[in-house]
Amino acid sequence: MTQLKHDWTLIEIEAIYNLPLPELIFRAQTAHREFHRADEIQGCQLLSIKTGGCPEDCAYCPQSAHYKTAVEREPLLSVEQTLEAARNAKDSGATRFCMGAAWRDVPDSKQFDSVLEMVKGVRSIGLEACCTLGMLKQEQAEKLARAGLTAYNHNLDTSPEFYGEIISTRTYDQRLDTLANVRKAGITVCSGGIIGMGETLSDRYGLLQQLSNQNPHPESVPINQLVRVEGTPLQDEKSLDVFEFVRMIATARILMPSSMVRLSAGRLQLSDEAQAMCFLAGANSIFMGEKLLTTPNPETDRDKNLLDKLGMKLSSTTTH
Ligand code: SAM
Ligand code: DTB
Ligand code: SF4
């Protein structure tokens, strides 16, 4: 049994990322098969429960109030609206439901009480429940844990060095503090990042090092390809070569073999062949449904057809 390792160096990560592709995929597959089924993908469904008008200035984000994008602001959805979406997600084969709010941090108000009700409701439908609500204090994390929250998503996004080019309104250390609060409350950690934002290869190794040197590793690692949204500072960023995405996923899989590695934003830009290569590289989850939070995503029929062609299937069991 492979020992999980929490002291990966940048040199080791660089060496893995740059392996000849067949070797990289072989190592990723070997790591994957020790901990996961090779023919199953977890389907997750996202829902934006509070949209737009966010005070943070994340340069990639269509929901930041700092940029003029086509996203229309919407207040917090009702518990019933949210649970209806969760039931539909379950019917289409998802086993995890992720609720996202464009908040800088979680408000201590009736709104938070509604979120706690949403979490309870999603769990009682029989789905894993994940929230991504911005920065989180310890007592809020504990309330979410008591409501039954499975996972909290808070991405490190990029390396500590490049982070300041992307976000100025909160620090890398604040992100790490939120993750520590989540961990301490006994909620599983979902944390990953985005590539294609103009970062260097070293920044990608730096992100992977930050994630893989946490102990325990984040149970869930979303790897996003930048969705270039008009009106954001990154709208004209150049497109990412698909092999870069594949290498990032494979390296994450090798560094954190027991974690779920999620092929997250950016699938609409990928061909079927490219997505298949991401699965070979060890991605074992996708977001389903025609919308991520605010941007489009492949339709469920297309995804089901792709999995059929590959002889793969959506997993039907929840792990938490
Ligand atoms: N406001 C909360 C926060 O930032 O933690 C939660 C929602 S936020 C939209 C969740 C994550 O979505 C971000 O951390 C970022 O990694 C990802 N994301 C946002 N916009 C994106 C884009 N245009 N392309 C790829 N990923 C994106
Ligand atoms: C993550 O890493 N990716 C998801 C989820 N966690 C919350 C969000 C992607 C958002 C893409 C841009 C949008 O649709 O607004
Ligand atoms: Fe706000 Fe989250 Fe978007 Fe940053 S990523 S602007 S915190 S919604």
Write out residues with Cβ below 6 Å of ligand 2: 46, 62, 98, 100, 132, 153, 155, 192, 222, 224, 227, 264-265, 292-295
pLDDT value for 107:
87
Ligand 1 pocket test, candidate residues 50, 56, 61, most atoms within 8 A of CB:
61
In whole angstroms, give the CA distance from residue 154 to residue 134. Answer: 7
Q: Which atom of ligand 2 is nearest to the CA of 287?
A: 4
What are the pocket residues of ligand 3 if the criterion is a CB atom closer than 6 Å to any ligand atom? 54, 56, 58, 61, 63-64, 102, 104, 134
**pLDDT value at position 317?**
76
Q: Among 27, 44, 61, 267, which one carries the catalytic annotation?
A: 61
Divide the 320 residues of the chain into consecutive groups of 10 and give the mean pLDDT of each group: 91 98 98 96 97 96 95 95 97 96 89 96 97 95 97 97 96 96 97 97 98 97 97 96 97 98 96 97 96 95 96 83
97/22 Cα distance (integer angstroms)? 34
Query: Quick one: which atom of ligand 3 is closest to the CA of 56?
Result: 6
The whole-number pLDDT of residue 109 equals: 84
**Is there a contact between 41 and 94 (Cβ–Cβ < 8 Å)?**
no
Cα(318) to centroid of ligand 2, in Å? Answer: 21
Spatial CB neighbours of 210, under 8 Å, sequence gap ≥ 6: 156, 159, 160
Structure tokens at 210: 């930050």
Residue 281 has which token pair? Answer: 């590289």
